[in-house]
Amino acid sequence: MIVEPGTTRIGWIGLGVMGRSMCAHLVDAGFSATVYTRTQETADSVLAKGATWADTPKAVAEQSDVMFTIVGFPTDVREVVLGPDGALAGCEAGNVLVDMTTSEPSLAVEIYEAAKAKGVASVDAPVSGGPQGARDAALTMMVGGPSAALERVRPLLALLGPTVIHLGESGAGQTTKACHQLALLVTAQGVAEALTLARRCGLDVERVRQVMMGGMASSRVLDLFGARMASRDFGAGIESRLYHKDLDIALGLAHERGAALPAAALTMQFVNALIGRGRERDDLSALITVVEELDIS
């Protein structure tokens, strides 16, 4: 299969804050697309660009050569890929499945095995870069699965971002993303604590953040989430409940492999507290509110 606009048919499942922009880049590049998402209204922008709606993931796959999925949770992935009306049920031999959801490595392997039995190729390709990276086609993609399958879809992935790295066999992309999210979340906890201390000491929190951005503490987490913490902008970029899922996956992997992750375990307590306060749909930057509520005096 040679991927070419006007010839290769794209299927896309999941048009949330990330998927909407990602699918649009492929349509803008001249690929026909059939789409499905839980709430049809979220598909309006890509339908306006010429994409076609289908009523089920299976129906999407029946009209596609390459199927992309980017949904919320592993349970969603299982439903839209492996369910009775899932994408795999509509795939034909020679098709390719690309799951870009941040999900469980074991599920990626399960999908690979089920797809292989039908003569369908499968790769797990979770992304980093957030909604802005999706809009700017500046994502990083970490890929697990057969190298031959990756090379077939690489021209499509290149339209979504400049960095596509093959990490190994099925599940390797998801395992890498779990490690990435572990580092992100522990760093966010550190940023929340640093800015809380600055506020308690009477300093201008945004100025402190700017100084930190010029020093060794600088990071994209401090840049993005730190700015939101300083400005008290907790409107969701990516909802905290999704980061909770990501850290849970990382801790599950650590348990399986006997790895001690003390900072991750502590951070999970704070993310749990944030979710417990009913703020699961707030941005991760709302983590600072949990830290601020602590008082040892």
> What are the residue numbers of the active site?
177
Helix (H, G, I), strand (E, B) or coil at 63: coil
- The number of beta carbons lying within 10 Å of the beta carbon of residue 119 is 11
> How far is residue 249's CA from residue 182's CA, in Å, rounded to a whole number?
9
Exposure string of 102-111, with b = 16+ CB inside 10 Å and e = fewer, is bbbbbbbbbb
Q: Among residues 204, 239, 246, 195, which one has the least CA distance to residue 73?
A: 246
Say if residues 86 and 122 touch (Cβ distance below 8 Å): no
> How far is residue 135's CA from residue 18's CA, in Å, rounded to a whole number?
8
Helix (H, G, I), strand (E, B) or coil at 52: strand
Say if residues 33 and 11 touch (Cβ distance below 8 Å): yes
Which residues, in sequence order, are CB contacts of 181 under 8 Å at separation 6+?
102, 243, 246, 247, 249, 250
Structure tokens of 237? 């970029």
Q: Which residues in 163-281 belong to E strands, given as ranges?
A: 163-168
Longest dimension (CA), the chain: 67
Say if residues 66 and 153 touch (Cβ distance below 8 Å): yes
> How far is residue 38's CA from residue 70's CA, in Å, rounded to a whole number?
12
